[in-house]
Structure 1
Amino acid sequence: MSKYYTEKDHADIAWVEYRDFTAVQAKNHIPVSYGESNGHVLGTLDEVVDDKSTGLKMYVVKTDEKHYTVLYQGSQAPNLSDPLGAGADWLLNDFPMAFNISMGIQQPTNQLAKASESLNRLMDKHKDAHFDIYGHSLGSMNAQYALANVTDSSRIDSAHINI
Structure 2
Amino acid sequence: MLKAIYPGSFDPVTMGHWDLIQRAEKLVDHLVVAVLHNPSKQPTFSVAERAGFLRELTSAYPKVEVVTFNGLLVDLARQTNAQCIIRGVRAFSDFEYEFQMALMNRKLHTELETLFLMPKEEYSIISSRLVREVGSMGGDISGFVPDPLKDRITRRLLNPSEIG
TM value normalised by structure 1: 0.31
Task: Work out which structure has the larger RCO, using CA pairs closer than 8 Å and 6 or more positions apart in sequence.
Answer: 2
TM value normalised by structure 2: 0.31
